[in-house]
Amino acid sequence: MGKKFPIITNLKAHPQFFEKTLKLIEKSFKYAAPFSFAEDFAPLVESGNHHNCFILVDEAENVLAHVGAKDRIVSVNDKEFTVTMLGGIAVEERARGEGHFTTLFNDVLAEKRGEAAFLLLWSDLEKLYNKFGFQLCGTQFEVPRSPQAPLEFEQTKYHLLSAAEKEELRALYETSFAKTYLTLERSAEDWEGISRLSSADLYLERFSGTIRGYFFKGKGQDLTDIIYEYGTAGDLPRFVTEASRVGKVWAGSEILETEETQYQFFLCPGDLRAFTEFIKEFSAGKILIRNINLLKQEVFFDFTDELYSLELADFLRGIFGPGTFEELELRPLYISGLDSI
């Protein structure tokens, strides 16, 4: 019996579809020369992650849809939790409305939900992703670009740094950015992936030859004029204020008073046991989930020895923002543009 088309596969099994897949993604995201999705989102579509690049292919070997995934780690109280990020989501224009996206997306969710505490994606299609259990949440603050003349930061690329300079920058990431936010762990492999993100611009502040501050701005066609990661050995509000002379700054917490707020991501619980354990650790044991009814999108949980129920969207916003539960005093979850897909 022959295969029933369209079929779901991935780029590891069928690397011959890579160029067609990339063309589909760039067409969907309206990429224009000289920009390249493969350069801006190298960690998602590079060969080492092709097992997570899921595609729907028809009998004529046309790639009808793509959903990419990237698994990362978040550590809370020395406990590691897998986070699956979804991106590069694209459907062939002529094949839209035929159910191909739903077919592929449900298949990817069925595979990835069992591996992750929660899943994240970035989009402006709220009604679409609500249907799959994703809720818009996470607080992102935007510091507008300052009208003042830019300071003389040293502009370069991460991959051009020496080995010693990379270590200095990584140390700043750990002691500043990763200390300010709950964010993704970065292994040596992850930093090597950032080396291949050659479209991201890096700005450095030095004192006596040592890197004392840095920020990343832009990523090719993505995040134009946006500063999305920063670290400093000095005063963070001062550094963000000075960085804003170069571009708008995105932050996960209210560093300055002049910021505007917006949503950060769509989030969906993954494996419910892992998600429950994550919430317990993240809230320092103050919130204990008793049940999550995904069909009704409702959460039952204990807080200060009382049982509460909330709609899932309200619960997630209480944990991740906007409008976090003030009693918890949680460190904000924030994903840098270097890591987001």
Specify the CATH number for the domain of residue 83: 3.40.630.30
Specify the CATH number for the domain of residue 242: 3.40.630
Check whether residue 149 and residue 253 sit in a common domain.
yes
Check whether residue 11 and residue 104 sit in a common domain.
yes
Check whether residue 108 and residue 176 sit in a common domain.
no
Q: What is the pTM of this model?
A: 0.94
- Write down the pLDDT at residue 258: 75
CA distance 133 to 207: 48
Check whether residue 251 and residue 274 sit in a common domain.
no
Kindly state whether residue 224 falls inside one of the protein's structural domains: yes
> Cα dist. 195→68, 192, 266 in Å?
20, 5, 27
- Write down the pLDDT at residue 1: 38
Check whether residue 74 and residue 152 sit in a common domain.
no
Check whether residue 43 and residue 104 sit in a common domain.
yes
Check whether residue 25 and residue 109 sit in a common domain.
yes
> Cα dist. 285→68, 77, 80, 288, 310 in Å?
34, 11, 16, 7, 18
Q: Which domain holds residue 72?
A: 7-116
Instruction: Tell me which of 235, 257, 279 is where a domain ends.
Output: 257
Kindly state whether residue 107 falls inside one of the protein's structural domains: yes
Instruction: Tell me which of 206, 223, 257 is where a domain ends.
Output: 257
Long-range pairs for 217-220: beta carbons < 8 A, 24 or more residues apart: 217/246, 217/247, 218/247, 219/40, 219/337, 219/338, 220/35, 220/36, 220/39, 220/40
> Cα dist. 225→115, 244, 249 in Å?
35, 10, 9
213 with 203: CB under 8 angstroms?
no
**Tokens in use for 75?**
């550590």
- What Rg do the C-alpha atoms of the chain give, in angstroms? 21
> Cα dist. 120→53, 136, 138, 295 in Å?
16, 10, 10, 19
Check whether residue 287 and residue 309 sit in a common domain.
yes
> Cα dist. 127→131, 160, 238, 266 in Å?
7, 42, 39, 11
Check whether residue 103 and residue 30 sit in a common domain.
yes
Check whether residue 234 and residue 308 sit in a common domain.
no
Kindly state whether residue 166 falls inside one of the protein's structural domains: yes
Check whether residue 96 and residue 17 sit in a common domain.
yes
- Write down the pLDDT at residue 5: 81
Kindly state whether residue 341 falls inside one of the protein's structural domains: no
> Cα dist. 254→41, 180, 229, 239, 240 in Å?
28, 11, 15, 14, 11
> Cα dist. 336→162, 183, 240, 264, 341 in Å?
23, 8, 15, 11, 10
Kindly state whether residue 124 falls inside one of the protein's structural domains: no
Neighbours of 121 (CB within 10 A): 21
Number of domains, the chain: 3
Kindly state whether residue 152 falls inside one of the protein's structural domains: yes
Kindly state whether residue 129 falls inside one of the protein's structural domains: no
- Write down the pLDDT at residue 2: 54
In sequence order, which residues have a C-beta less than 8 Å from that of residue 118 and are 6 or more positions away?
Answer: 83, 84, 267, 268, 269, 270, 275, 278
Amino acid occupying residue 235: D
Long-range pairs for 126-135: beta carbons < 8 A, 24 or more residues apart: 126/266, 129/266, 132/105, 132/106, 132/268, 133/268, 133/269, 133/294, 133/297, 133/312, 134/266, 134/267, 134/268, 135/266, 135/267, 135/268, 135/312, 135/313, 135/316, 135/317
- Write down the pLDDT at residue 97: 83
Check whether residue 182 and residue 234 sit in a common domain.
yes
CA distance 13 to 21: 14
**How do the pLDDT tens digits run along the chain, 341 residues long?**
356 789 999 999 999 999 999 999 999 999 998 999 999 999 999 999 999 999 999 999 999 999 999 999 999 999 999 999 999 999 998 888 888 999 999 999 999 999 899 999 999 999 999 999 999 999 999 999 999 988 889 999 999 999 999 999 999 999 999 999 999 999 999 999 999 999 999 999 999 999 999 999 999 999 999 999 999 999 999 999 999 999 999 999 999 887 789 999 999 999 999 999 999 999 999 999 999 998 899 999 999 889 999 999 999 999 999 999 988 989 999 999 999 98
Kindly state whether residue 56 falls inside one of the protein's structural domains: yes
